[in-house]
Amino acid sequence: MNTVVQSDLLSGHEHTRTGLSQAALKQAFIDNLFYLQGRFPEVATPHDFYMAAAYTLRDRLLDRWVKTARSYKHSQARTVCYLSAEFLLGPHLVNNLINLGIMDTARAAGEELGLDLDAIVQEEEEPGLGNGGLGRLAACYLDSLATLEIPAIGYGIRYEFGIFDQTIENGWQVEHTDAWLRNGNPWEIYRPKLRFPVKFGGHTQQYDDDGHLRIRWIPDLVIEGRAYDTPILGYGVNNANLLRLWSAHATQSFNFQSFNTGDYYGAVRAKVEAETISKILYPNDEPEAGKELRLKQQYFFVSCSLQDMLRLQFNTTGSVEKFHEKYSVQLNDTHPAVAVAELMRLLIDDYKMTWDPAWEITRHTFGYTNHTLLPEALETWSVELFGRILPRPLEIVYEINRCFLDEVRMRFLGDESRVARMSIIDETQGRRVRMAHLATVGSFAVNGVAAMHSELVKSTILKDFHDLWPEKFHNVTNGVTPRRFIVAANPRLATLLTERLGSDAWVRDLSLLRSLEAHADDTGLHADWQAVKTAAKEDLSNWLGKHAGVTPDPASLFDVQAKRIHEYKRQHLNVLHIVTLYQRLKANPHLDLPPRTFIFGGKAAPGYFMAKLIIKLINSVAEVINRDPQINGTLRVAFMPDFSVKNGQRLYPAADLSEQISLAGKEASGTGNMKFSMNGALTIGTLDGANVEIREEVGDENFFLFGLTAEQAQRHQAQGYRPWEFRHESEELRSALDLIDSGLFSHGDKELFRPLTNSLIQYDPFMVLADYEHYVSRQSEVGHAWRDREHWNRMSILNVARMGKFSSDRSIRDYCEQIWKVQPAPADV
């Protein structure tokens, strides 16, 4: 008997004891269907079955969670709190089945009832509480924290409406509200006792507190945060951690006041205003500055979270003096950076501490992760707005800044220009609070998200801070969880890997995939490998046929770019390549090109005109090329609508080629690059973000590199970049741009895409034209490589074999060792 089967039998025995046996699951499922949904199997809808399955799993998660909480309490473990405005979790059911290790048992239980588990899994509407990379990273990190048995809490906002649903109408993106809570959320538990007041507006006044001069904040609005908890289970362990999301409500007292004065309408208005705070996720990948509601959201969830931690610390130890020994609080970009001021405020105003000890605690509590260098994405708030909404935190920001700038003056005598550059308050363009400076000053550690990005953080946006505190700066390269992005997304690949490696231990230790290297030339493996890939391509093709109106040939090369639509990510460079191939084929119908399907997926921020125009361009080019009989299927273009975690799971396994083509120096890390590569896609990419490290790991010969380096791009820009010269010099580039301007793709409308082509020719901020030629020539090499399928499969196998580094388990270990200094605390059963 092989070890896999043996371990299955062993865990089956275990399952009888913990209510996870097939019989127990089946009975629990029927009970839940009856008692919670009020349904018999005969009349139940697919959604009823999903809800019953979800409740069946939730009960089992709760059991682990209670035991975990008890273990953490006993071990007095240090706890990581991950503060993030976004958590892009993806569907829970499939992940919990995997992490509980009961996929096969549940499937068998379902079969006994005549139910198809996969169909039930598909019923789940995912919680889209994030925009893209940053939110999904937070979700991967929660999975890894639980899997590594690290005591951790994720803190965020329970948005009533998450990221919009996208449809494509007439080639344009159309946004639809995401009413994900419409049918209830079986994974969350409302905690009616956990509620905290959060103040807004008003003014401050001094008062005498038994001889101590203190400040009182008299707000003109108090909102209540209410906690909703979702258990987050580790893989193959007993630990279950907690994601605590805050929902905003009007306070009782506020309503009573209005009622007492007979202002019924006023009371209702106040309630609506309060609840607006957690109503909707801002749909921008990189933040849109200056929105009052956004600042309120940030302060709201940060204040609730810190009050929650302080309460726990005070209740268990009778004081908050050792807060920083108990908690390590990570700021996921600057969205929660107001936490630095808020912790000071709570310690001083509520816990009556004096400034210096409060600052000692604060600056030993926070770590700050930077996720972007793009100047337009660095958050600042006008002092006017900040002070109007948060008058007391602003006073504290000023005081933090005053002390900090004294320190700078002491270190760099007479260097007032440095003082101005480093100040938390930017005085150069109206007075603005620089959140990255606040986060850096208030944290003991600052990190970037890929090696190259972390270097650029030190040498560019935070250079002055690196001069002052070099030891504060770290790198933690991003990672993604193999549970979601291999086991759940690509079960066929997972089964093949387990078979080949003789065990499923790779799911917890991705570096074990390295042993596949020895089989890279094994023809048996090649056949299985290609069969797995083809099956995934067939699935995707069928799905696209139903949802995108294109049914690509699974034998063609699937060339995929899936990510938020953004000029710096350069989806339009990809389009220029497609148009170029189209022109080559039109000019020479006998040109021998391997059939390729170009697949795009991604949402554009609703207010980002150029990104929406890029979506329209992709769909317009698709419409013409897909229908051109002369092309005869050699080229196909498909736009996958509504790219999400769920749809990503359909895409990653089916990709042959992964497009990671941002201008070097612009993509902090990227994580899609890792998800594709883990599923056997080869990468065509620039030396940007984590691409650099992916290429290092898989080997230059297994990666299609092109484009300017960050340094070259920087130098070009400094010397005055003239994109029109590239247009002049390249015949093919000129004719591709001209073809778009000719109206061929827009039913004769020559103006439609002009904003895009003009911007490229005149400004081209992301140097699309400079990189075009090298990109197109590398793409030809991709085409050649694809013809030698054996060699291609070998490269694909080596990509997967060498992905160990990009498991989020490795990232979390790095955070634990370098930054958080926390140890595992296994939960007892």
Q: What residues have CB less than 8 Å from 406, skipping those under 6 apart?
A: none
What's the CA gap between 245 and 586, in Å, rounded? 55
Residues 61 and 241: beta-carbon distance below 8 Å: no
How many helices and strands (H and E) does the chain possess?
34, 24
Residue 512, number of CB atoms within 10 A of its CB: 17
Looking at residue 416, its amino acid is E
Q: Smaller CB distance to ligand GPW: residue 799 or 811? A: 811
C-alpha atoms less than 13 angstroms from C-alpha of 677 in its C-beta half-sphere:
35
Q: Is 244 helix (H, G, I), strand (E, B) or coil?
A: strand
Write down the H helix ranges in 337-484.
339-345, 355-363, 383-389, 391-411, 416-422, 435-441, 451-459, 463-468, 482
Beta strand spans in 264-402 (E): 327-332, 366-369, 380-382
Looking at residue 357, its amino acid is P
Q: What residues have CB less than 8 Å from 590, skipping those under 6 apart?
A: none
Residue 672, number of CB atoms within 10 A of its CB: 30
What's the longest Cα–Cα distance across the chain? Answer: 92
User: If we measure between CA atoms, which residue out of 373, 308, 317, 294 comes closest to residue 346?
Assistant: 308
Place of tokens 């801002």: 282
Residue 176, number of CB atoms within 10 A of its CB: 10
User: If we measure between CA atoms, which residue out of 565, 610, 570 comes closest to residue 752?
Assistant: 610
**78: alpha, beta or left? (left if phi > 0; alpha if psi -120 to 50):** beta
What's the CA gap between 294 and 15, in Å, rounded? 46
Please report how close the Cβ of residue 389 comes to ligand GPW at its closest, in angstroms: 21
Q: Catalytic residue numbers?
A: 371, 563-564, 569, 671, 675
Q: Tell me the CA distances in angstroms from 637 to 350, 558, 617, 628, one per residue in order.
A: 59, 10, 11, 12
Beta strand spans in 201-341 (E): 203-209, 212-218, 221-233, 240-250, 327-332
Q: Smaller CB distance to ligand GPW: residue 123 or 285? A: 285
What's the CA gap between 261 and 267, in Å, rounded? 10
Burial of 410 (0-12, 13-18, 19+ CB in 10 A): exposed
Please report how close the Cβ of residue 136 comes to ligand GPW at its closest, in angstroms: 8
Residues 151 and 234: beta-carbon distance below 8 Å: no
What's the CA gap between 331 and 340, in Å, rounded? 10
Binding-site ranges for ligand GPW (CB under 6 A): 131-134, 137, 285-287, 333, 371-372, 377, 449, 478, 667-671, 689
DSSP 161: B
C-alpha atoms less than 13 angstroms from C-alpha of 104 in its C-beta half-sphere:
9
Burial of 36 (0-12, 13-18, 19+ CB in 10 A): middle
Q: What residues have CB less than 8 Å from 497, skipping those under 6 apart?
A: 486, 506, 513, 516, 800
Element (H, E) at 600: strand 596-601
Residue 471, number of CB atoms within 10 A of its CB: 8
Q: Smaller CB distance to ligand GPW: residue 449 or 576? A: 449
Residues 406 and 315: beta-carbon distance below 8 Å: no
Q: What residues have CB less than 8 Å from 97, skipping those under 6 apart?
A: 57, 103, 106, 117, 121
3-state secondary structure 449-477: CCHHHHHHHHHCCCHHHHHHCHHHEEECC
User: If we measure between CA atoms, which residue out of 506, 522, 447, 437 comes closest to residue 477?
Assistant: 447
